[in-house]
Amino acid sequence: MKFPTVTVILVIAALAFVLWDQTREQPQAVDASRFTNLGSNPAKLSDTVDWLVTQVPSLCEQATGQAKGTEASASCVKQARTRTSACRRGIYDRFPGVVSSDAVFRDVSITLINCLVQDASP
């Protein structure tokens, strides 16, 4: 039987990647205050989208009128999570890479929220 050289190399490369990913510096969490002065301090579109995705549980609470942890709210969050990738692609295709005004931030927010939280009413 031949020694599986290619398999061993791929496994070592995968382990090296995992180790590298664990040791690199993790980005700091973004909070809402980051988006207060976009004219003089523009935000990357990816940071904006990441922050909005973290708001899904509270958005689902508002959309369903149900408290966090209820079946309607949990269902809304689950559905939003399944649509996250498609919604992100739509946002990245439609908007510039830098959010430099309140108007762009508003448009990105509304578009993403409408995509993520569809028909969430009870």
pLDDT (tens digit per residue) in 77-102: 899 999 999 999 999 999 999 999 99
59/61 Cα distance (integer angstroms): 5
pLDDT in tens, 22-67: 888 766 677 788 888 898 989 999 999 999 999 999 888 888 887 7
- Can you tell me the distance from the alpha carbon of 90 to that of 49, in angstroms, rounded to the nearest whole number? 11
Which regions of the chain does DSSP assign to beta strands (E)? 43-44, 98-99
Residues forming a β-bridge with 98: 44
Domain-wise residue ranges, the chain: 42-122
Tokens of 48: 């904006």
